[in-house]
Amino acid sequence: MLSPLGKHHARLEISKDVLRERRTMARIEQRRSQNSPGNFYVDDSCIDCDTCRWMVPTVFHRAGEQSAVHHQPTRESERFQALQALLACPTASIGSLDKPQDIRQVQQSFPTPITANIYHCGYHSAKSFGAASYFIRRPEGNILIDSPRFTPPLVKQLEALGGIHYLYLTHRDDVADHAQFQAHFGCRRILHQADINRDTQGIELPLQGTEPYSLAEDLLIIPVPGHSPGHTVLVYDHQYLFTGDHLAWSAKTNSLTAFRRYCHSWPDQIQSMRQLLQYDFTWILPGHGRRYHADSAILRHELQACIAAMEAVA
């Protein structure tokens, strides 16, 4: 698998086309020939964001430079998951020949629980190249991490979960529909000043400088310049590290990885990665790339290996 960010700019162009068309469903006439015969398929508008592959690896894989169905669902749970991927796909590139009768239940399955009070929002946005968005439900106020698509089924579910207190944005690339979420939920958006541009100039809580910022007793924001000048990561409850495009698990190398191509400053990113060694956490929850969960000692070891690999290509 190529890096999900490896074709960042090419995908930007594809995404613009997709956004212009305002696609809402896959097109059978654009079905890729690499799909296995059957109900589910991927069409040629796929931007290779990797989402369907990590969500349902038993059904979707990479064929050429896009996704395809390699195995049609045979179990009910697999069919349901394939429909979740269909809804999560940022470019409506996944199609189902049958009209699913339970699509409302699939819609209501997002945000899907990952662990404890942490959820995957689904409904990835083409504006952020299909980056994953997360939701933390907490008594002191819920947090949306990076922006999914602003779509009525998700908005309704987020309302039912208690709304959004903060919309934390890891960096400038994954802000997607931030303004719509802010207008609807009245949430306070957080983004580092160095990543604020004309689109995000109204951010309510711009972060400054390079020192960690304690948003609450259980929420620590750490500046990690590198991928972008104002990239930050969020540690929640001393366990969960939301990493945006800074750090992810690679299914190809079975190791933690950073995306060098299109990185704003590789030396800065290496230095930022070293800073993370000061903290303990057991989960990596990235925007792009795969999640990782391990004992904190193992995770520290993996992070050290990642830094060594980064330094080797510096």
Q: Give the shortest CB-82-to-ligand SF4 separation in angstroms.
A: 11
> Under a CB-based contact definition with an 8 Å cutoff, are residues 186 and 218 in contact?
no
Distance of alpha carbon 123 from alpha carbon 159, whole angstroms: 16
Angle at 284 between CA 282 and CA 287, to 5 degrees: 165
Contact 77, 59 (CB under 8 A): no
What is the contact mask toward ligand SF4 in residues 70 to 99, using x (rule: CB under 6 A)?
A: -------------------xxx-xx-----
Residues 97 to 136: which contact ligand SF4 by CB under 6 A? 130
Q: Does 35 bind ligand SF4 (CB under 6 A)?
A: no
Candidate segments 31-39, 45-53, 157-165, 304-312, binder of ligand SF4 by CB under 6 A = 45-53
Interacting span for ligand SF4 (CB under 6 A) from 42-50, 112-120, 190-198, 248-256: 42-50
| Site residues (CB under 6 A) for ligand SF4, limited to 54-73 | 67
Say if CB 35 and CB 289 are below 8 A apart: no
Which position has the token pair 């942490």? 118
> Any contact of residue 4 with ligand SF4 (CB under 6 A)?
no
> How far apart, in whole angstroms, are the C-alpha atoms of residue 107 and residue 111?
9
DSSP secondary structure letters along 196-241: --GGGTT-SEEE-SSS-EEEETTEEEEE-TTSSTT-EEEEETTTEE
- From 52, 121, 131, 235, residue interacting with ligand SF4 (rule: CB under 6 A): 52
Q: Which is nearer to ligand SF4, 89 or 203 (CB)?
A: 89
Q: Is 182 in the site for ligand SF4 (CB under 6 A)?
A: no
Closer Cβ to ligand SF4, 67 or 282, answer by number: 67
Residues interacting with ligand SF4, by CB under 6 A? 42, 46-52, 67, 89-91, 93-94, 130
